Chain A
């Protein structure tokens, strides 16, 4: 009976609920309270992780043989994800102290929802009972809705869209959980072990998977992410869609693949692999042509989920470990990127890439953090994104050479999508770095200043984590990933990547380069000169080339052009399409309800006839 498990769940939940109803005049309290609670939950999460396996059970309700017990247990997987989720909560709270400034209107609502998110995700990660997991899952969904609405103009639309899509997937979760209960007779996660041989378990699996990948933001139910990315505050995007939603979604996916179901079905691994590969490549293609910083980042948040899903789909130890490690890495660098984006937006007053440029000189810390995170997400060695992608590739190759089955036979396709997607990610981030930090400074941005300390600290911490997890990747793998997945260390990875040695050698190489530079500097002085314009007098504005048109060659290529225009108009958005279907249905109902008595009478008579036919059993 470890009561410690209760605190990180219920302390933030209660405090958050109270804060929601606090009048907005009391501003200081909500911040102080959120900061204190997030520090406490983070500390407790570390304690829970170091404690190892611990359980707490409290019988809430008993109807017949149906038991609703609040079962909290710290499994290795849940505990390590909990630690990171709480860590992100703390960093975002710190960042919000300045980014959600005193001028913001709904401060208490914001902080209350942050606390609800923290508590809810702790609940999901600790609960061992499917119904409680569902309740906490809903709390996180609702708090996401609340958080997006704090974004001001137009954010209501985005919040509604997110809520509708995630809510629909939550309905799938509910249905899936009920099916699992019917099939296995229990709600306790650790007791469930269903074979995926017949139709019903497969449907249950697909329903649960839908919920997991919608939360994580994989295709085809991804469209809530870019919409909210455009309107929600950057800190919200960094907290939920970038970090915690990924952790939760992939956590659920791993739980259902590794724990609740015996994952042997060929069809299911094929479905997962297709979702993974398609998500990687399609989302990154869309991301490349975006003009809005936050929207671009949101599309990458979708694309990266593909690697996690693909890694899990391979079913090989190295692939699954890589997928889970990628989840962790992604949360780190994408959170950092969104925070950098938020800093840029706050400092420059816009998130449109066309209007930015040359900010690297004005905001060196933000630039450095953003560059490291961008290189990580593009999979440049020796940063962390490379390691997990490399593991996923190995998983795909191992699947292709060791397994037989539909998904295994098609491994070249998955590998191509994954590796080529990585190159496109690099392209997209080159555009981002060029447009924001390099290139030239527009005249309007001459007075931009670096953001304040509470905003810098989270970015720097996350950027350092990117480097650490990349250079010393054995540490997180041995500490968190392998124990969580019950994999024997040293057996999974079969490639070679001596990251520490490589980093040392790169540093030596840079040192050698510096030596050459030094010789050059001793020979002659450095001279600062204006940009060479081939003798033409040009104003600063004329010389700015924003990166937004870098990839016009791609978007205007025959064949791709039509797809891009269709995407721009929302033809491939399930939300829009189902919205249209719904509209068609209501129009039909409207047409039926014309108010004409003869019409109603006709329907009534027809209905009566049908009932008569059925009742009399004429056919």
Chain B
């Protein structure tokens, strides 16, 4: 019974819902503030993301007549639940240093859930714009999945076949050529997963009017926004754990690593124009794929010859 209560506390309060949402809204404030600084603007106040969500909650929920309403309403909830689970799992593993819920393969698969929810929700909204968004989002998922798998393989080779995230977080694969390559490409994959420029192809306001999200409004849109804020917590944390050696001994180095990744993501976001979907596919499959094929080869060679820096 106490265990169940404990899990309930973890998922609802810390490090689950309340904590992740607060942290995520703060992170999205950082994103907006740093973007503003890059663009020579002042930027929003600290609580702006929070105000946005609260304001959305008070707005009317519009549901398209032709939509598959059950799926339309359920999709954001499922997506948020998926990210919540991922975030809780990663934080629990970081704090307790033991296995919790799943291993690295599970984490990679849980990361698909928000995109899938987005796809189903937009597909259910019966809008042609959303359909275009659906197609683009799905193609984006399958483009970055290949380099992500290869980066995962590099990590597995570097950590000697470990699947447990707590054990992987003990080592720092990024301190080698192959690990660094894998880290950089995985960073781009995270960029695409977050739907940030240059990979905001599915939302593309100027082309398909927010594509996947076009028909969403009110509290449902608020849930999507919360989900995206929570992804800002979970995905960089995943990179920190897998490539940069986790939080290690002190909280501050861990947070420093997290902020480093966040800043890298923001800088990429602010210095690149949006890609077309076919460009993104080619980029991920051929260029990133090739880079990681080299990385995997290097990692294997390094593993056989005992050269750790390869």
Chain A positions near chain B (C-beta within 8 angstroms): 358, 360-361, 364, 375, 379-381, 386, 390, 393-394, 397-398, 400-402, 412, 415-416, 419-420, 423-424, 426-427, 430-431, 433-434, 437-441, 494-498, 501-502, 504-510, 512-514, 516-517, 519-521, 523-534, 540, 543-545, 547, 549-551, 553-554, 557
Contact = CB atoms under 8 A, between A and B. Distances in A.
B231 interface: no
B296 A412 contact: yes
Interface stretch (B179-187, B218-226, B249-257, B258-266): B218-226
Contacts of B177: none
Interface string B153-177: 1001100110110000000000000
Given A360-B68, A381-B110, A529-B63, A519 B161 contact: no
26 contacts: A360-B71, A360-B124, A400-B161, A402-B161, A416-B153, A427-B138, A438-B68, A439-B126, A439-B131, A497-B101, A504-B7, A505-B88, A507-B81, A510-B81, A512-B12, A512-B80, A512-B81, A513-B78, A516-B223, A521-B219, A530-B65, A531-B67, A531-B125, A532-B64, A532-B214, A550-B135
B12 A557 contact: no
A415 B152 CA distance: 10
A424 B61 contact: no
Contact of A495 (B123, B124, B163, B222): B163
Nearest to A538: B128
Contacts of B67: 531
Contacts, number: 259
B146 interface: yes
Contact of A506 (B68, B82, B146, B220): B82
Contacts of A441: 66
B59 interface: yes
Contacts of A416: 146, 149-150, 153
B153 to A, nearest CB: 5
Nearest to B146: A420
Contacts of A424: 142
Q: Which 9 A-B pairs have the closest CB atoms?
A: A520-B219, A509-B81, A401-B161, A513-B77, A423-B145, A545-B131, A438-B123, A509-B84, A496-B99
Nearest to B156: A397
B161 A496 contact: no
What's the interface size class on B, roughly?
A: 35 or more
B116 A426 contact: yes
Contacts of A397: 156, 161, 163
B215 A524 contact: no
A533 to B, nearest CB: 8
B34 interface: no
A603 B219 CA distance: 88
Interface stretch (B39-47, B190-198, B232-240, B276-284): B276-284
B37 interface: no
Given A420-B146, A497-B106, A517 B215 contact: no
Nearest to B227: A513
B63 A528 contact: yes
Grouping DSSP codes into helix (H, G, I), strand (E, B) and loop, the B interface class, with mixed when no group exceeds half, is helix
A615 to B, nearest CB: 61
Contact of B60 (A394, A506, A527): A527
B247 to A, nearest CB: 19
B202 interface: no
A440 B66 contact: yes
Contacts of A517: 73, 77, 219-220, 223
A358 B81 contact: no
A516 B103 contact: no
A520 to B, nearest CB: 2
Given A401-B160, A509-B80, A520 B123 contact: no
Nearest to B279: A553
B33 interface: no
A526 B84 CA distance: 26
Contact of A525 (B60, B125, B139): B60
A512 B77 CA distance: 8
Contacts of B120: 430, 433, 438
A314 to B, nearest CB: 13
A497 B103 contact: yes
B142 A427 contact: yes
A426 B57 contact: no
Interface string B40-58: 0000000000000000011
Contacts of A415: 149, 153
Contacts of B63: 526-529
A441 B110 CA distance: 31
A543 B153 CA distance: 43
B129 to A, nearest CB: 8
B60 A419 contact: no
A415 to B, nearest CB: 6
